[in-house]
Copies of this chain bind each other. A is one copy, B any other.
Amino acid sequence: MIIVKIGGGAAINLDGVARDLAALPSPALVVHGANAARDALAAALGRTKTVVTSVSGYDSVLSDDAAVELLFMAYAGLRNKQVVEALQRAGVNAVGLSGIDGRVVQGRRTSGFRVRDGERVRIVRDRSGKPVSVNRELLATLLAGGYTPVLTVPIADETGAAINSENDDVVALLQHSLGAEAVVQLIEAPGILRDRDDPGSLVTRLSAGELSAWEETAVGRFRRKLHAIRRLIEAGAPWVVVADGRTEHPLADALRGAGTVISADPVRAAVGA
């Protein structure tokens, strides 16, 4: 089984991914984002993000009820069903699920932000949290029945209520729980770039050791990307491939070694994918 994470960008070639998945010999589990759909919908509805500043000075976007409604519409609704439809049309029997469906991904709500309220400090709790457990039984049943689960946020909190969560955390937990043979991340770039503005700075091969060394010196977006991949390797992924989701055959290209191939095994990394 492989896990395919489809980025939330508008330029991802969903039909290409669907055709590649249809030709895949092994079962797959799909996790997708929907940043572009969410942002477009929020803009069309004239909704702005609510930002709170913690007492320690960090700004955070608050996942309030309106934000969770947007997740329902853009992630679990529009984008999830676009992915499912593309897969169905390609002959893949996809079943789209948010984390609250069958509590397939359940988490713990964050304890809240400490914000200044005049003279006092108060705790603002929002609807976000970290994924903690996966309903393996439901996913195994679907996979055994020949279905391809297509997962997205929101996830369920302890009470079954919907909360926002990071897709990277969901994918790491799925890898930990299900032990996929590989994780493919399809993004709107040729792979991991040393310089995000320079497609020529593509990192083609990376060992787990190099990953850790790089992470120490990297900054910003690049650092977060490396960190997320390191967690996948730590969760037991033998291979992680970060590749371009905009090509004619995004998934087939990735599995042939396009983009950035990260191997948990230093020997395999040295000889290439």
**Copies of the protein in its oligomer:** 2
A78, B77: Cβ atoms closer than 8 Å: yes
Minimum C-beta distance from A188 to chain B (A): 21
A85 and B101 CA atoms in complex are apart in Å by 8
A205 within 8 A of B: no
- A81-B44 in contact (CB<8A): no
CB distance from A31 to the nearest CB of B (A): 16
A145 within 8 A of partner (CB): yes
How far, in whole Å, are A94 and B95 apart by their CA atoms in the complex? Answer: 14
User: Interface size on A (CB < 8 Å)?
Assistant: 42
Closest Cβ of chain B to A129, distance in Å, is: 15
Nearest chain-B residue to A147 (Cβ)? Answer: B102
Within 8 A of B (CB), among A40-94: 41, 44-45, 69, 72-78, 80-82, 84-85, 87-91, 93-94
Tell me, yes or no, whether A6 is within 8 Å of chain B by CB. Answer: no
Q: Mark A19-55, 1 if CB is under 8 A from B, else 0.
A: 0000000000000000000000100110000000000
Assembled-state Cα–Cα distance A18/B96 (Å): 22
Contacts of A89 in B (CB 8 A): 159-161
Complex Cα distance A73/B156, Å? 19
What residues of chain A have their CB less than 8 Å away from a CB belonging to chain B? 41, 44-45, 69, 72-78, 80-82, 84-85, 87-91, 93-98, 100-103, 137-138, 141, 145, 147, 154, 156, 159-162
Known: A76-B81, A84-B100. 4 other contacts (CB 8 A): A73-B78, A85-B161, A94-B102, A97-B101
